[in-house]
């Protein structure tokens, strides 16, 4: 989990550039934001230290035709610290779970899963959702096509962005 740190305009611009292309050189990043390569390196080190920047490889799911993606909507029977912690631990430990979001509204969670087949999804769903007596119900929607997939996050509040432009 990220440790909150104060970010200045250079940080926001660097983070935006890194989200677009993490392979850019320190020199190219520095030229784009007006900092030296060593200053860029210090900032990137600080981002990693505080958990803002993670080292990951993002694979294109369309390059792997055997990948089955599923969106699973989950409703809990009852909520307590113990049952939620157990659910969170199970979601975090499952390699099939790509993302898990707590929701407002009729459903409690949205779980995005990736498996190698519909059968593998079914086995994982039974392990993750049916065994737990605290899950009231879950519904699955298989993904037919990825229209857009992004990982880019806004790093500034909208009011800060509009003030900078004006």
Main-chain phi, psi angles of 22, to 5 degrees:
-75, -10
Inter-CA distances, 39 with 3, 9, 51, 81, Å: 21, 14, 18, 43
Residues of the chain with CATH 3.30.70.920: 61-142
pTM of the model: 0.76
Q: Which fold has domain 1-58?
A: Arc Repressor Mutant, subunit A (1.10.10)
Q: Which fold has domain 61-142?
A: Alpha-Beta Plaits (3.30.70)
Please give the chain's pLDDT, 166 residues, in tens.
677 889 999 999 999 999 888 889 999 999 999 999 999 999 999 999 998 888 777 787 778 888 999 999 999 998 889 999 999 999 999 999 999 999 999 999 999 999 999 999 999 999 999 987 889 999 999 999 888 888 888 887 666 555 555 5
Residues of the chain with CATH 1.10.10.10: 1-58
């Amino acid at each position: 989990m990220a440790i909150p740190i104060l970010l200045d305009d250079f940080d926001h611009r660097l983070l935006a550039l890194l989200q677009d292309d993490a392979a850019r050189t320190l020199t190219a990043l520095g030229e784009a934001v007006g900092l030296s390569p060593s200053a860029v390196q210090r900032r990137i080190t600080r981002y990693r230290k505080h958990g803002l920047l993670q080292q990951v490889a993002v694979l294109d799911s369309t390059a792997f035709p055997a990948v089955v993606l599923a969106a699973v909507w989950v409703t809990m029977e009852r909520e307590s610290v113990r049952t939620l912690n157990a659910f969170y631990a199970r979601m975090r430990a499952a390699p099939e779970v790509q993302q898990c979001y707590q929701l407002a509204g009729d459903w409690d969670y949205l779980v995005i899963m990736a498996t190698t087949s519909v059968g593998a999804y079914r086995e994982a769903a039974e392990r993750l959702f049916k065994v737990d007596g605290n899950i009231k119900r879950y519904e699955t929607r298989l993904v037919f096509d990825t229209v857009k997939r992004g990982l880019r996050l806004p790093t500034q509040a909208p009011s800060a962005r509009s003030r900078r432009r004006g």
